[in-house]
A and B are shown apart, each in its own frame.
Chain A
């Protein structure tokens, strides 16, 4: 079955600290992987996406993610978190055939001064 797991419901980090948000997926074909960010009461904004090629992808706002096929993971990282990064983060998987996206349940990030 196709699915996405985000094991951490909520993460708290200090401003300036590094961040890693975990995402594991189950998908029967070559996955296309995405990270989105959502501020309270807003829509989802695309941070980055992976289709093929280099397994380390760069996104907006200083975020990056690494695709590890052997671990079925696509973890999101940022070297130094800013207070404005506090939001909900969603990982999603889709595929070439056009089957629907599967979203994780999200990780809520709190940034403390």
Chain B
């Protein structure tokens, strides 16, 4: 089955630690995205990538980093510089970024909690 997988489902982090959230897609999509979801705030874009080895900051990139070494993978690292990282993180992908192929499909999410 084609789709987007995110792991782990739940992640706990101590203050001062970096953690990496995994996102993999087998849809052969070019574009991938990371969103943060907080209660009552909808989804906010952290980073996006339109092609391998290229990525752009979204609205709330501070304290986060990404890489796109393979088309199917777009891991997100939450660094110690992110002061309030407790949230639900969603990864998405689309065939293209633009045109009618920009429909985004989402993974199941990772809930990150800072202890």
Q: Judge whether B43 and A94 touch: CB under 8 Å.
A: no
Do the beta carbons of B103 and A49 come within 8 Å of each other? yes
A51 near B100 (CB under 8 angstroms)? yes
User: Measured between alpha carbons, how far is A90 from B102 in the docked complex, in Å?
Assistant: 17
What string of 1s and 0s marks CB contacts (under 8 Å) between B19-53 and chain A? 00000000000000000000011110100101000
Across the two chains, which residue of chain B brings its CB closest to A94? B102
User: Interface code A25-62, partner B: CB below 8 Å = 1, 0 otherwise?
Assistant: 00000001010100001111110010100000000000
Give residues of chain B (76-100) contacting chain A, Cβ–Cβ below 8 Å. 88, 90, 92, 96-100
On whether the beta carbons of B102 and A103 are closer than 8 Å, the reply is no
Determine which of A9, A41, A49, A103 lies in contact with B111 in the assembled complex, contact meaning CB atoms within 8 Å.
Answer: A41
Q: Chain B: residues with CB nearer than 8 A to chain A?
A: 4, 6, 40-43, 45, 48, 50, 58, 88, 90, 92, 96-100, 102-109, 111
For the complex, what is the distance from the CA of A36 to the CA of B40, rounded to whole Å?
16
The docked-state distance in angstroms from the alpha carbon of A100 to that of B58 is: 9
**Which residues of B are found within 8 Å of A90, using beta-carbon distances?**
42-43
Tell me, rounded to whole Å, the shortest Cβ–Cβ distance linking A34 to chain B. Answer: 7
Q: Are B109 and A98 in contact (CB under 8 A)?
A: no
Besides the known contacts A41-B109, A96-B100, 15 further A-B residue pairs in the complex with CB atoms under 8 A apart: A34-B103, A34-B104, A43-B109, A44-B90, A46-B104, A49-B103, A90-B43, A92-B104, A96-B98, A98-B96, A98-B97, A101-B102, A103-B43, A105-B40, A105-B41
